[in-house]
């Protein structure tokens, strides 16, 4: 997996060294000499990762990092602070400025590569969501800007069989308002994560009962925890296993003895990242729902149906496919006699009835006011006519109670059109079904009519 990496350092020799190492791993590398240049390049070049020196004249690394994290065009880019100082206080300042990680000079090659791979992987995921979010915004469906949320109220799970260690992690997290639960082994962790959502999972690499690396891979494989941040806690001599955990998908790590402030800063960064990701996904989910479904019946809308149909018919292969155009008989009189609320109720009942009578791979949409369409991939004339009759009969038998005292009859007319393997356009097929529907109406309603064989277009 290649990626763009921006190295920011005021000493050219440092830059060249890192550049050579990263280029050897096929990363695309660019460099900046100070904070100002870094901000400009980050906006313009949109790297996947920034390695940021702390001690620089003019604007130091902390300030540069804060500015990157405040700018909506760069806030999603992971930042690794690189410093000659190994002091916990310096690490903390960097993490509080929003840095995603911290490395000390001289940079240890394996550690750097593990961090780079993990952060680039996360960045890719965020990019995908951002791109879809952009599409949604382009459609005018979601305009809100992403802000950095508070972590207070977030939920963490601590997986540790050492009581004292688990307790001190929980105490530290509580100071940021993070609510945490505890699991003593992998089985308990899996049971808890299946039962409720967590925003962060802290895993001790010293678990006795079960291999924590196995737990990491199980959590990554599960749908519910696939993207949950995993923070490892390891003894300093467990470096190999920590790196292995990282390869399996862990998000970050801490070395024992734990510095409470560093733990809190790393936990906050991971949780904020998850919130950002959740937010993008929610925007997208709502946008898609609004864009593609009919709020009254929950069925797909016409926009979705047309796109789906042209997707199915794309390529001009002459695929076998049937379309059923369904219209509620005398719907206007339902509205006129009982009011629009009763009309809506009738439409929902019909939608549910149709849904119960279609195959799993058929698509059902509300096409317009009282009009529905079923698309049946692979269906020939026999399948389509059987389905048409089944749907008509099911609606006729459905019981429509307007209220406790009033029951009203409901029927539908259906027009069926099949491609019969001919190469036709979606429009031609829908038009043919529409004409057949018109014939069904003219023929007395509550009946199914069939379009004549379509001429290839």
Binding residues among 214-243 for Mg ion as defined by CB under 5 A? none
- C-alpha span between 158 and 20 (Å, rounded): 39
Whose Cβ is closer to Mg ion: residue 53's or residue 176's? 53
Please state the closest distance from residue 265 (CB atom) to Mg ion, in A. 22
- C-alpha span between 352 and 400 (Å, rounded): 12
Please state the closest distance from residue 75 (CB atom) to Mg ion, in A. 24
Of all helices (H) and strands (E), which one includes residue 382? helix 381-397
Q: Give the pair of three-digit tokens for residue 269.
A: 């960064």
Site membership for Mg ion, residue 53 (CB under 5 A): yes
Please state the closest distance from residue 40 (CB atom) to Mg ion, in A. 18
Please state the closest distance from residue 8 (CB atom) to Mg ion, in A. 9
Residue nearest to Mg ion (CB): 55
Site membership for Mg ion, residue 60 (CB under 5 A): no
Q: Is 370 a catalytic residue?
A: yes
Out of 25, 33, 55, 260, point to the residue binding Mg ion (CB under 5 A).
Answer: 55
Site membership for Mg ion, residue 394 (CB under 5 A): no
Site membership for Mg ion, residue 10 (CB under 5 A): yes
Whose Cβ is closer to Mg ion: residue 52's or residue 254's? 52
Site membership for Mg ion, residue 37 (CB under 5 A): no
Using DSSP's 3-state secondary structure scheme, residue 339 falls into coil
**Each residue of 247-257: b (16+ CB within 10 Å) or e?**
ebbbbbbbbee
Catalytic residue among 370, 389, 396, 439: 370
Q: How far, rounded to the nearest angstrom, does the alpha carbon of residue 336 sit from its chain's CA centroid?
A: 44
Instruction: Give the interface segment with Mg ion, choosing from 55-63, 219-227, 270-278, 366-374 (CB under 5 A).
Output: 55-63
Interface size with Mg ion, residues (CB under 5 A): 3
Please state the closest distance from residue 7 (CB atom) to Mg ion, in A. 12
Whose Cβ is closer to Mg ion: residue 108's or residue 163's? 108
Contact 373, 362 (CB under 8 A): no
Q: Of the candidates 146, 72, 147, 140, which has an alpha carbon nearest to the alpha carbon of residue 287?
A: 140
Site membership for Mg ion, residue 90 (CB under 5 A): no
- C-alpha span between 232 and 256 (Å, rounded): 10
- C-alpha span between 177 and 118 (Å, rounded): 27
Q: Of the candidates 52, 141, 36, which has an alpha carbon nearest to the alpha carbon of residue 93?
A: 52
Site membership for Mg ion, residue 389 (CB under 5 A): no
Using DSSP's 3-state secondary structure scheme, residue 224 falls into coil
Q: Residue numbers of the site for Mg ion (CB under 5 A)?
A: 10, 53, 55
Positions marked catalytic: 370
């Amino acid at each position: 997996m290649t990626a763009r990496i921006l190295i920011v350092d005021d000493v050219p020799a440092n830059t060249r060294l890192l550049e050579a190492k990263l280029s050897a791993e096929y990363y695309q590398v660019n460099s900046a000499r100070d904070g100002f240049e870094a901000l400009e390049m980050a906006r313009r070049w949109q790297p996947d990762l920034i390695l940021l020196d702390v001690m620089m004249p003019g604007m130091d690394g902390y300030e540069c990092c804060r500015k990157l994290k405040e700018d909506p065009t760069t806030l999603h880019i992971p930042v690794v602070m690189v410093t000659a100082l190994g002091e916990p206080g310096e690490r903390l300042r960097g993490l509080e400025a929003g840095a995603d990680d911290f490395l000390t000079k001289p940079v240890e090659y394996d550690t750097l590569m593990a961090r780079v791979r993990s952060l680039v992987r996360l960045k890719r995921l965020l990019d995908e969501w951002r791109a879809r979010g952009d599409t949604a915004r382009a459609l005018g469906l979601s305009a809100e800007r992403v802000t950095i949320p508070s972590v207070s109220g977030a939920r963490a799970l601590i997986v540790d069989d050492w009581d004292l260690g688990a307790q001190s992690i929980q105490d530290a997290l509580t100071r940021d308002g993070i609510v945490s639960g505890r699991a003593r082994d992998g089985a308990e962790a899996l049971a808890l994560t299946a039962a409720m959502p967590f925003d962060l999972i802290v895993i001790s690499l010293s678990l006795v009962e079960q291999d924590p690396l196995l737990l990491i891979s199980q959590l990554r494989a599960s749908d519910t925890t696939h993207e949950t941040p995993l923070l490892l806690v390891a003894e300093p001599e467990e470096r190999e296993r920590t790196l292995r955990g990282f390869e399996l998908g862990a998000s970050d790590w801490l070395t024992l003895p734990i510095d409470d402030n560093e733990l809190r800063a790393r936990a906050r960064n991971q949780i904020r990242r998850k919130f950002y990701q959740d937010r993008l996904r929610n925007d997208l989910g709502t946008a898609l729902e609004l864009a593609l479904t009919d709020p009254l019946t929950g069925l797909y809308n016409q926009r979705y149906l047309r796109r789906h149909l042209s997707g199915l018919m794309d390529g001009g292969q002459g695929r076998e496919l049937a379309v059923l155009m369904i219209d509620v008989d005398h719907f206007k009189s339902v509205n006129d006699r009982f009011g629009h609320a009763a009309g809506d109720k009738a439409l929902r009942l019909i939608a549910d009835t149709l849904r119960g009578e279609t195959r799993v791979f058929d698509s059902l949409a509300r096409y317009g006011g009282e009009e529905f369409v079923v698309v049946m991939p692979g269906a020939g004339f026999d399948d389509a006519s059987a389905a048409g009759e089944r749907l008509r009969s099911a609606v006729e038998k459905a019981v429509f109670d307007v209220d406790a005292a009033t029951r009203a009859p409901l029927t539908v007319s259906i027009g069926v059109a099949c491609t019969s393997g001919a190469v036709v356009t979606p429009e031609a097929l829908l038009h043919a079904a529409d004409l057949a529907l018109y014939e069904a109406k003219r023929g007395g309603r509550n009946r199914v009519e069939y379009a004549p064989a379509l001429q290839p277009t």
